[in-house]
């Protein structure tokens, strides 16, 4: 485990050295504060609109951070030839991969935490209350979802030829699942065979990332999600992350590095 | 050669630009930053924002583009969504189709109810943005007017409706809405009457040339607006004691009213009142 943590520590340090996070955070903050300064019919209590904009920006920013960070890890090591001295040490390939995954996931988690703290401050300044348990649930599920995406991106980084192709494919898959994943079964009902069966199979096989998005509950002040359901969804996310990570390890084990 | 070409281009631009500027309508709406960025796509975005306001009214419980109920919800023109009993209605979701659908309902809005009281103000930013992007979208102004008046912001409602009238000066709906503000909130009956008369005139200009029913058998003319406008005129005339004029408007209302028997009853009551008044004056 020490070897895995050592690899992950390097990844975490890499994130706060790069400009991606700072640029995206400043952009999110500027847009959110700009929206918050707009006057709608002389009412200072309108807050849901700002929450929606801020959460949408957080989702976009953290997706970009997670996918670009994870997609670069193995290819960058290969291009700079540092993968060889790394593997010359007493560390297995799977440990490198898991370490990279853990580092990306934790780094993305830290970035996500900063975003959500900003979001909580902006909301609290308008509403004069802090829905800490609800925001924690949103942050936790968002982080679990990013774990699935980071694992998928790691699989892509060892299976595909270039980081650009990997990032594009993962973005398309992620956005597709987030927007349409929950409705594939509705679409399948209107299709003829064999399309209906194929779409239904895809519906049951894909990781339903849209389940992790509880922004609607946060924006419209719905009650908390039941903690057991939260635990169940966390387990669901971890299973998919583990599956993608296992697949990545199997591919990486036999991959030529030069 | 290149310099000569550049000079020709400059001369052409200097000649064409004033011609183009003079052909641009002087009263053309000046786009906001968002409107300029979106171009003609702003009408699509304006419609999306207006639907977002409805989503907020339902606290996020709203059919997606993949649900058949969405078309019905979007076309529902009754702003206030009146319920006959409790505020909670039946939803569009139906029973869960599979375990994923069942599990997903724990993580999204899954009950149908409407925003109440001051919470309805949360819809207003979307309506304002919708109106800004597509000033010809009259419904945005009408929806915002209704909800602003519901929370007691009559002044803001009037300002917004007037903003709509600047972009749509011949809209009978907006004239009626402004008339309602003067009738019910300001109690300025003469001004309300003038606005209702203007609304009636614009209604006839807009709807008289239309056929009574479309090819699908649906009503094309907005008789509900005409009925509301005439009702407003009747109230204004009754409030100022002009009962004869009120009676004339009731008789004008009767043929197109949704409840002609109810209107006839009012006519009879008013006639009796006029008779009683003229009897006591002798």
For A40, the 3-state DSSP assignment is: strand
- Looking at residue B84, its pLDDT comes to 41
pLDDT score of B89: 47
Q: Check if A219 contacts B (Cβ < 8 Å).
A: yes
pLDDT at res. A142: 97
Residues of B in contact with A204 (CB under 8 A): 98, 100
pLDDT of res. A173: 96
Q: Answer whether A78 touches B (CB < 8 Å).
A: no
**A250 vs chain B: nearest CA distance in angstroms?**
29
A46 touches chain B (CB under 8 A): yes
Decide if A20 contacts A109 (C-beta within 8 A): no
Residue A147: the pLDDT is 96
Rg (CA), chain A: 20
Cβ-proximal residues to B16 (8 Å cutoff; 6+ apart), any chain: none
Q: Is-contact B145 B161, C-beta < 8 A?
A: yes
- Structural domains of chain B, with CATH: 38-78+107-169 (no CATH), 170-282 (1.25.40)
The reply to whether omega before A194 is within 30° of 0 (cis) is: yes
Q: Is A131 exposed, middle or buried (0-12, 13-18, 19+ CB in 10 A)?
A: middle
Size of chain A, expressed as the number of residues it contains: 258
Alpha helices in chain A (DSSP H): 2-17, 20-36, 48-79, 83-88, 93-127, 132-159, 163-180, 184-189, 195-205, 215-219, 227-253
Distance from CA of B272 to the nearest CA of A (A): 46
Taking contacts as CB-CB distances below 8 angstroms, the residues of chain B near A234 are none
| B106–A229 CB contact, under 8 Å | yes
Q: What Cα–Cα distance (Å) separates residue A93 from each residue in A65, A253, B89, B195?
A: 24, 6, 57, 79
Whole-structure pTM value:
0.83
Give residues 164 to 203 of A whose Cβ lies within 8 Å of B: 180, 182-183, 185-187, 203
Low-confidence residues of chain A: pLDDT under 50: none
A211/B104 CB distance under 8 A: yes
- Profile chain B (282 residues) by mean pLDDT over runs of 10 residues: 84 80 56 70 90 91 72 57 46 81 91 84 93 94 94 94 95 96 94 95 91 74 90 92 88 82 86 82 62
**Residues of B engaging A, defined by a Cβ cutoff of 8 Å:** 56, 59-60, 64, 66-67, 97-98, 100-101, 103-104, 106-109, 118, 121-122, 124-126, 128, 148, 153, 156, 160
């Amino acid at each position: 485990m020490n070897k895995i943590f050592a690899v992950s520590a390097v990844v975490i340090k890499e994130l706060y050295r790069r400009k991606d996070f700072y640029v995206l955070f400043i952009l999110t903050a500027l847009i959110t504060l700009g929206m918050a300064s707009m006057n709608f019919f002389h009412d200072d209590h309108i807050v849901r609109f700002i929450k929606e904009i801020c959460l949408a920006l957080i989702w976009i920013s953290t997706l970009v951070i997670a996918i670009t960070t994870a997609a670069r890890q193995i290819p960058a090591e290969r291009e700079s030839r540092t993968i060889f001295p790394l593997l010359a040490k007493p560390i297995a390939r799977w440990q490198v991969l898991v370490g990279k995954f853990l580092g990306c996931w934790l780094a993305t988690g830290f970035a996500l935490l900063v975003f959500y703290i900003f979001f909580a401050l902006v909301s609290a300044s308008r509403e004069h209350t802090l829905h800490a348990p609800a925001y924690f649930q949103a942050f936790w599920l968002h982080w679990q979802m990013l774990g699935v995406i980071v694992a998928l991106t790691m699989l892509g980084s060892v299976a595909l030829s270039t980081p650009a192709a990997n990032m594009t494919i993962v973005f398309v898959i992620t956005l597709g699942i987030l927007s349409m994943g929950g409705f594939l079964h509705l679409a399948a009902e209107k299709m003829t065979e064999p399309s209906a069966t194929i779409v239904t199979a895809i519906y049951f096989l894909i990781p339903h990332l849209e389940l992790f998005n509880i922004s609607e509950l946060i924006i419209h002040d719905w009650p908390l999600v039941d903690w057991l359901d939260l635990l169940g969804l966390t387990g669901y996310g971890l299973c998919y992350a583990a599956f993608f990570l296992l697949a990545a390890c199997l591919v990486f084990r036999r991959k030529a590095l030069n | 050669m290149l310099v000569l070409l550049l000079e020709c281009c400059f001369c052409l631009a200097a000649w064409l630009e004033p011609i183009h500027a003079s052909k641009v309508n002087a009263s053309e709406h000046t786009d906001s930053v968002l409107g300029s960025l979106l171009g003609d796509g702003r009408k699509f975005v304006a419609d999306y924002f207006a639907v977002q306001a409805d989503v907020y009214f339902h606290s996020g419980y709203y059919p997606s583009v993949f649900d058949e109920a969405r078309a019905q919800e979007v076309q529902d023109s009754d702003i206030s969504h009146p319920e006959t009993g409790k505020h909670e209605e039946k939803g569009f979701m139906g029973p869960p189709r599979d375990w994923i659908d069942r599990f997903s309902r724990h993580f999204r809005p899954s009950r149908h109810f409407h925003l109440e009281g001051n919470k309805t103000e949360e819809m207003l930013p979307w309506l304002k943005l919708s109106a800004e992007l597509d000033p010809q979208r009259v419904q945005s102004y009408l929806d915002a007017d209704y909800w602003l008046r519901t929370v007691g912001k009559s002044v803001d409602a009037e300002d917004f409706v007037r903003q709509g009238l600047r972009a749509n000066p011949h809209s009978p709906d907006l004239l009626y809405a402004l008339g309602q503000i003067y009738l019910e909130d300001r109690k300025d009956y003469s001004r309300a009457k003038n606005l209702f008369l203007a609304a009636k005139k614009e209604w006839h200009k807009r709807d008289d040339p239309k056929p009574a029913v479309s090819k699908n058998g649906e009503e094309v003319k907005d008789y509900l607006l005409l009925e509301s406008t005439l009702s407003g005129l009747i109230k204004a005339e009754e409030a100022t004691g002009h009962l004869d004029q009120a009676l004339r408007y009731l008789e004008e209302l009767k043929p197109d009213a949704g409840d002609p028997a109810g209107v006839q009853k009012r006519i009879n009551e008013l006639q009796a009142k006029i008779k009683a008044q003229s009897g006591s004056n002798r």
